[in-house]
Amino acid sequence: MTALIHLAFALPRFCALLVAFGCLVLTGHATIPLVIAGLVVLSWPGTYSITRRTFTGRDARQWADACRHSGLYQPEGAQRGERPAPRLLRVEQAAAGRVLHVALSHGWTAEHVERAAPALATWYRARGVSVSTDPADVSRVQVLIRDTDPLAGLGGRAWPNLKLARLSLWEPVPVGVDEDGRVVDVVLAERNVLLAGEPGAGKSVAQSLIVATDCLDPYCSVWMLDGKGVDLAMWEPCCNGFAGANHDQAMAVLRDAAAWMDASYAELRATGKRKVALGDELGLLVIDELAFYVNTGTKKQQAGFNEALRDLIARGRAAGLISVLATQKPSSDVIPSSIRDLVAYRWALRCTTPEASDTALGRGWAARGYDASTISTSARGTGLLLAEGAMPVRCRSFYLADEDVEVLAQRAVLLREHLFGDVRDPVGEVGSGDLAESTEGAPLVPGPAPPPPQDAGRDWGTPLQRKIRAEIEREPEASNREVARRVGCDHKTVGRVRHQLEQ
């Protein structure tokens, strides 16, 4: 088989040389034969094309030998044309190596190529092999031969939104850079996220990108549970509810988030909508060290927490509640499958074993070459993100230093205080004198108060808003949180109504 492939690629070149030699003998001029030979060679399939590279004879020989050594060859005793080896269509260069586009003939499936991935990597002497299927045609697969790791030498890149004074959770959130240098962003509205990785893999920084976006959106509510009590502490002034390593406080935060979700559904019913739309208020529930809350405490506390969290994730999507869960080991003995299976977005940073990587991304991805345990320990922040596309994307998260997180948190506090005048601050008062410039020159709160969303008065006159208005008019000096407790809604909803009344 290999000899036939060699002959097929050598024959057209030999014929071109004969034609050129004949023209040279007949005409005695070398220009015409050279032009003929060049056109024949360049236009022949399997060589360098004028417009794009398909593949060379060397590529075909390598693929044929690799198939033979990895078990992807025609079995002995098979009749002519029966189950021939996968056929190479073209080769493309990628930042990580080469992408082989392969056509599967009858009898072969993508699973056969996936099982042969380790043997293919050994034959090519590559760092690894990843196999993906064309969604439009299952008989076409892409085999990525990883020769280098373009993310290994990539230093920590600053977050593109670091200097912005205000963000929106409805907009795509840039979270990292892929192997081709493109920015990877995710749309979080109506989605949930699971972050998994060993200690020191970069979960805290990846989580901070999402938290910062939410807190810099003043019309978003946020609840946080921090099992260590320090990673999310600086965001506490922006939170509707915050709890550390305390089960009773954590349950109170979940109940508050559930009340917000029920109020959101009541508002949707009053306006005749089935789910939140662009511009509606969103909520974010962030849980760091999830294993602490689901595996410690009494059996009653564990069961109560798991049931409350499962309800928030299952019903929160249409109400605009986004859940972000971070843990070191997302296995079934740590996180119940009834919770894990409801999370659509998976971000697997470095894991210790292929099984742990599969638990984060889903069963079978490690066998296809998408294994977070193969990520170098020095490549902090590098992981596999399974989000918008059908295949995981290998990317490295943007970097946020502790000083950057502190600046963003202070900016979010001042922005919310500037708009609503009611922000939690357990550490101390944040006065107007703190409206200073950030280290990069971006103002913490730009000029006058930003206007409310265009839909802020979309349902003025609903029972909920009339009730809020009555409470504000009855006691104008009451804080937004006090009015929210009386009415049974979120304090930022009260802030929007109060802002409309003042206008």
How is residue 437 annotated by DSSP?
Answer: B
Record the tokens describing residue 350, joined without a space. 């470095």
- Which single residue is written with the structure tokens 């008019």? 473
Q: What is the pLDDT of residues 65-119, one digit of tens each?
A: 998 888 887 665 555 555 678 889 989 888 778 899 999 987 788 888 988 988 9
Give the C-alpha distances (Å, rounded to integers) separating 392 from 371, 376, 384, 388: 10, 18, 6, 9
The angle subtended at Cα 427 by Cα 424 and Cα 429, nearest 5°, is 70
Q: Which residues contact 63 (CB under 8 A, 6 or more apart)?
A: 88, 100, 102
Return the closest-CA partner of residue 127 out of 88, 179, 86, 195: 179
Mean pLDDT for the chain overall: 79
- pLDDT at position 282, please? 92
- pLDDT at position 429, please? 32
Stretch among 48-62, 121-135, 141-155, 438-452 having the lowest mean pLDDT: 438-452
Partnered with residue 124 across adjacent β-strands are none
**With 70 as the cut, is the pLDDT of residue 191 above it?**
yes
Q: What is the pLDDT of residues 240-250, one digit of tens each?
A: 899 999 999 99
Burial of 341 from C-beta contacts in 10 A (0-12 / 13-18 / 19+): exposed
With bands split at pLDDT 50, 70 and 90, how would you rate the model's confidence at 419?
confident
Partnered with residue 372 across adjacent β-strands are none
Task: Give the count of beta carbons closer than 10 Å to the beta carbon of residue 128.
Answer: 20
With bands split at pLDDT 50, 70 and 90, how would you rate the model's confidence at 199?
confident
Mean pLDDT computed over 207-223: 91
- Which single residue is written with the structure tokens 């919310």? 416
- Which single residue is written with the structure tokens 């208020």? 281
Burial of 500 from C-beta contacts in 10 A (0-12 / 13-18 / 19+): middle
Record the tokens describing residue 61, joined without a space. 């020989």
Q: What separation, in Å, do the N-terminal and C-terminal C-alpha atoms of the chain show? A: 81
Coil, strand or helix: which one is 142? Answer: strand
Q: What is the pLDDT of residues 324-361, one digit of tens each?
A: 999 887 776 777 778 888 888 999 999 888 888 888 88
- pLDDT at position 438, please? 37
Q: How far apart are CA 344 and CA 361, in angstroms?
A: 10
Using the Cα atoms of residue 235, residue 312, residue 268 and residue 264 in order, give the sign of their dihedral: negative
Q: How far apart are CA 156 and CA 398, in angstroms?
A: 6
Which of the two residues, 162 and 107, has the higher pLDDT score? 162
Written as one letter, the residue type at 2 is: T
Q: How far apart are CA 103 and CA 77, in angstroms?
A: 23
Q: What is the pLDDT of residues 420-457, one digit of tens each?
A: 765 544 333 333 333 333 334 444 444 333 444 444 43
Coil, strand or helix: which one is 310? Answer: helix
- pLDDT at position 486, please? 75
**With 90 as the cut, is the pLDDT of residue 287 above it?**
yes
**With 70 as the cut, is the pLDDT of residue 318 above it?**
yes
Record the tokens describing residue 341, joined without a space. 């299976």
**With 60 as the cut, is the pLDDT of residue 285 above it?**
yes
Do residues 266 and 283 lie in contact, with contact meaning Cβ atoms separated by under 8 Å? Answer: no
Q: What is the pLDDT of residues 104-134, one digit of tens each?
A: 987 788 888 988 988 999 999 988 888 888 8
Q: Which residues contact 469 (CB under 8 A, 6 or more apart)?
A: 497, 501
Which of the two residues, 18 and 275, has the higher pLDDT score? 275
